[in-house]
Chains A and B, each alone.
Chain A
Amino acid sequence: GEDVEQSLFLSVREGDSSVINCTYTDSSSTYLYWYKQEPGAGLQLLTYIFSNMDMKQDQRLTVLLNKKDKHLSLRIADTQTGDSAIYFCAPRGGYQKVTFGTGTKLQVIP
């Protein structure tokens, strides 16, 4: 099956940019999703990118995709305390199956 790896923890200061990285193994991934999980809640879709794109920008969020290296990143500009959460990378690969990464816990220091 697909392996999706993320670093477990990231700490940034309020107002700085955050970059969360993800590597995956299934080269047939078509959609690549980012989900956010706030404390005590389920996951919510944050943004996604199609596999034929290199970059997608959505307000403070920028998603970069390097298909050759199977690397996905999520950049959050002007990080706020409300961005503190766990972020999951989730490629949609063969047989339309979505595989979730290990999750990166983002801590924003005021």
Chain B
Amino acid sequence: DVKVTQSSRYLVKRTGEKVFLECVQDMDHENMFWYRQDPGLGLRLIYFSYDVKMKEKGDIPEGYSVSREKKERFSLILESASTNQTSMYLCASSLGGGGGEQYFGPGTRLTVT
């Protein structure tokens, strides 16, 4: 079974803090993704990576950065958290080929106060 784990289920941070969200997958997948999920907006792609040290912007990258130093780990960084970044953050991974079936982690509910 593919397993995608995220470092926290719930996180509360203050405005202006630097926030790290970690994601680890155990199936040697090439692709990894970060989404945010908001009611009525569905999932929106923030960043994705097709290989180690490689990253591509998704649809809403502003205010975020990512790091992929190892194949199994993909980190999402909020350089200076703001209240409009309060959301559910979902990490996913998939085999190479650019998309296809994605395996999701359980999500991190981030609240920025």
For the complex, give the distance between the alpha carbons of A47 and B101 in Å.
10
Shortest CB-to-CB span from B57 to chain A, Å, is 12
* CB-CB under 8 A for A43 and B104, given A92-B99, A95-B98, A98-B99: yes
What is the interface size of chain A, counting residues whose CB is below 8 A from a CB of the partner? 24
How many A-B Cβ pairs are below 8 Å?
50
- Given A31-B100, A96-B98, A98-B102: A42 in contact with B107 (beta carbons within 8 A): yes
Inter-chain CA distance A92–B102, complex, in Å, is 11
A10, CB-defined interface residue at 8 Å = no
Q: What does DSSP make chain B's interface, helix, strand, loop or mixed? A: loop
State whether A41 and B106 are in contact (beta carbons under 8 Å apart), knowing that A4-B42, A100-B42, A103-B42 are contacts in the complex.
yes
B55–chain A nearest beta-carbon distance, Å: 15
Interface size class of B (residues with CB under 8 A): 20 to 34
Q: Is A40 part of the binding interface, using a Cβ–Cβ cutoff of 8 Å?
A: yes
Chain A residue with Cβ nearest B33? A98
Shortest Cβ distance from A101 into B: residue? B42
Pairs across A and B, CB under 8 Å, 14 listed: A4-B42, A42-B4, A42-B105, A43-B90, A44-B104, A45-B101, A45-B102, A88-B42, A95-B98, A96-B98, A96-B99, A97-B99, A100-B35, A102-B40
